[in-house]
């Protein structure tokens, strides 16, 4: 995989323009093909225009030119085929880019870890992963393949026009720069409006998603009406900004059509007066019907790439806005996440912290320098007041927090990378997905066999309640554990770790939301499952502390 995240030796801020350039590599082959087909269209159109002009002028003279007619038909057919090929190639370029960006965004989100998810509204993240990536479609499918066509296509038409009339060629040359200047001026405003619109959508999605999840709390405090009115106001603001984007798009199109119409009209007037012999000046050339028809057919086509660019220019502004939203996913701060995990643990490890401390990217200290040892095969408790760094100490092992000071050793070897794939994480409120209990244990991994699932479920105490369910482990549960109690959800999360035989278990206040009976059942299952494993558990519970082999008091003098 080609990494798009800046290296640790460079700036930690990902640049939207650099990201767009890097993403373009994934669809470059199809993009070049689309551009070549787009330029070839203009050559085919010149052939069509010559054939059509010749056939029509022959009919005016009272004869039928079969060769010219066939040339016109063939040119039109070839052009249609080239247009279809260009569209298809552009779609392929866009699809390849968006697919790769989605894959890399998912990997980047995993590297950022829980700390990123905790500080970023879930609605904003989902908007970035869906809407922002979709904003890249037109840019890579239409705008980028069109740029070579805008440069070369009109030159083909211009060269053909000059072969028949230097005056028409000069008209084309004089009007094209004016069009480009006005389009650029309007485009700058459209870019700002598009970025503003997507930023508003991102905030609206985050606000709606967060309020939806907190609906019970809002209802309890009689705040539903107020939040409904707030969402309505935010929605109206988004509508207004969307209409502003549309207004800029219509303005851009109107300017283009106006100048193009003036240029085509100028060409038509010149050709008409030339054929009538009524020109008020001597142009130094003679225009016959065939040449006049030929340049008149060429005139609209000369501006066609610019028309297409005007429509696609908004794709560029959309992509730039989308890239700015995605920057936060790819903006990996120095000292966080490593691309290479620590070698897989095959036996219970001994963990040794040597004055290990952590300072987050925002300057907040997560863990004061601490030194302690968690022995292999034992249950070690991290004890201390809230905010002392118990959770951060465990996040250091997974690469979800930056190791700013000191060192961490695993089996007397320096921690070479996050312990991804070797350590299981069980939080206060473990994530339960919409699916069956079995799928939640395997995390939808079909390679985990039934024997491993049953063994893990027995050891974790899941079968204690699953046997009483209608379909046992195949009973469906809702998202966020709907259908399971807090203690049952914790045991499912413990079974996940046992199903893949993790040798290191990291538990962050696993019994904080359990009553005494549920806590006792979970601890019984944990002590049984801890045999042959190293367990590190952050807790405030005296019951948990009493079941541990060792207790480390963080924040106390060592």
Mean pLDDT of 418-435: 83
Structure tokens at 28: 């470059």
pTM higher than 0.75 for the full model? no
CATH (residue range 16-330): 1.20.1560.10
Q: Identify which has the larger pLDDT, 529 or 368.
A: 368
For the chain, residues classed under CATH 1.20.1560.10 are: 16-330
Q: Identify which has the larger pLDDT, 556 or 271.
A: 271
Q: What φ, ψ does residue 360 adopt, rounded to 5°?
A: -75, 165
CATH architecture of 351-553: 3-Layer(aba) Sandwich (3.40)
Q: Identify which has the larger pLDDT, 341 or 23.
A: 23
Torsion of CA 449, 452, 454, 459, to 10 degrees: -160
For the chain, residues classed under CATH 3.40.50.300 are: 351-553
pLDDT in tens, 212-238: 767 777 777 777 788 888 888 888 888
Contact 510, 490 (CB under 8 A): yes
Most confident by average pLDDT, 35-39, 177-181, 420-424: 35-39
Cα separation, 197 vs 238, in Å, equals: 7
Q: How far is CA 320 from the centre of its chain?
A: 12
Q: C-alpha distances in angstroms, 521 versus 162, 442, 514?
A: 89, 22, 10
């Amino acid at each position: 995989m080609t990494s798009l995240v800046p290296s640790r030796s460079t700036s930690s801020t990902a640049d939207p323009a650099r990201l767009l350039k890097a993403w373009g590599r994934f669809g470059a082959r199809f993009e070049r093909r689309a551009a070549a087909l787009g330029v070839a269209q203009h050559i085919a159109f010149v052939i069509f225009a010559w054939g059509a002009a010749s056939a029509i002028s022959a009919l005016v003279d009272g004869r039928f030119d079969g060769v010219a007619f066939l040339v016109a038909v063939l040119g039109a057919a070839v052009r249609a085929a080239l247009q279809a090929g260009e569209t298809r190639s552009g779609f392929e370029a866009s699809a390849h880019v968006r697919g790769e960006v989605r894959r890399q965004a998912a990997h980047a989100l995993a590297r950022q870890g829980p700390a990123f998810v905790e500080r970023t509204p879930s609605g904003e993240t989902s908007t970035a992963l869906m809407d922002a990536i979709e904003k890249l479609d037109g840019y890579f499918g239409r705008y980028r393949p069109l740029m070579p066509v805008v440069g070369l296509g009109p030159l083909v038409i211009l060269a053909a026009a000059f072969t028949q009339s230097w005056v028409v060629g000069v008209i084309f040359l004089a009007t094209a720069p004016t069009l480009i200047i006005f389009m650029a001026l309007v485009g700058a405003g459209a870019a700002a409006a598009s970025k503003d619109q997507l930023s508003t959508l991102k905030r609206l999605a985050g606000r709606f998603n967060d309020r939806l999840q907190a609906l019970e709390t809002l209802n309890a405090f009689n705040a539903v009406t107020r939040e409904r009115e707030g969402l309505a106001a935010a929605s109206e603001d988004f509508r207004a900004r969307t209409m502003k984007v549309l207004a800029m798009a219509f303005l851009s199109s109107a300017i283009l059509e106006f100048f193009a119409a003036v240029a085509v009209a100028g060409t038509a007037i010149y050709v008409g007066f030339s054929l009538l012999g009524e020109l008020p000046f001597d142009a130094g050339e003679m225009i016959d019907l065939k040449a006049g028809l030929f340049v008149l057919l060429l005139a609209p086509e000369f501006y066609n790439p610019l028309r297409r660019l005007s429509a696609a220019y908004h794709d560029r502004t959309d992509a730039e806005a989308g890239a700015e939203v995605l920057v936060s996913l790819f903006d990996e701060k120095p000292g966080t996440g490593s691309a290479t995990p620590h070698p897989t643990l095959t036996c219970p490890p001994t963990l040794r912290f040597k004055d290990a401390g952590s300072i987050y990217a925002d300057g907040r200290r997560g863990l004061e320098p601490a030194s302690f040892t968690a022995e292999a095969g034992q249950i070690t408790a991290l004890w201390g007041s809230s905010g002392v760094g118990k959770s951060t100490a465990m996040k250091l092992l997974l690469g979800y927090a930056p190791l700013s000071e000191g060192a961490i050793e695993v089996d007397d070897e320096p921690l070479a990378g996050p312990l991804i794939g070797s350590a299981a994480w069980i939080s206060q409120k473990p994530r339960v997905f919409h699916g069956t209990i079995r799928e939640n244990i395997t995390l939808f991994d079909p390679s985990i066999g039934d024997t491993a699932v049953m063994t893990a479920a027995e050891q974790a105490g899941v079968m204690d309640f699953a046997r009483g369910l209608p379909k046992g482990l195949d009973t469906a549960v809702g998202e966020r554990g709907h259908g399971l109690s807090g203690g049952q959800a914790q045991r499912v999360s413990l079974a996940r770790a046992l199903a893949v035989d993790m040798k290191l278990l990291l538990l962050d206040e696993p019994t904080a939301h359990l009553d005494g009976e549920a806590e006792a059942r979970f601890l019984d299952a944990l002590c049984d499952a801890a045999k042959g494993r190293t367990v590190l558990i952050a807790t405030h519970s005296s019951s948990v502390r009493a079941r541990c082999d060792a207790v480390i008091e963080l924040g106390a003098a060592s």
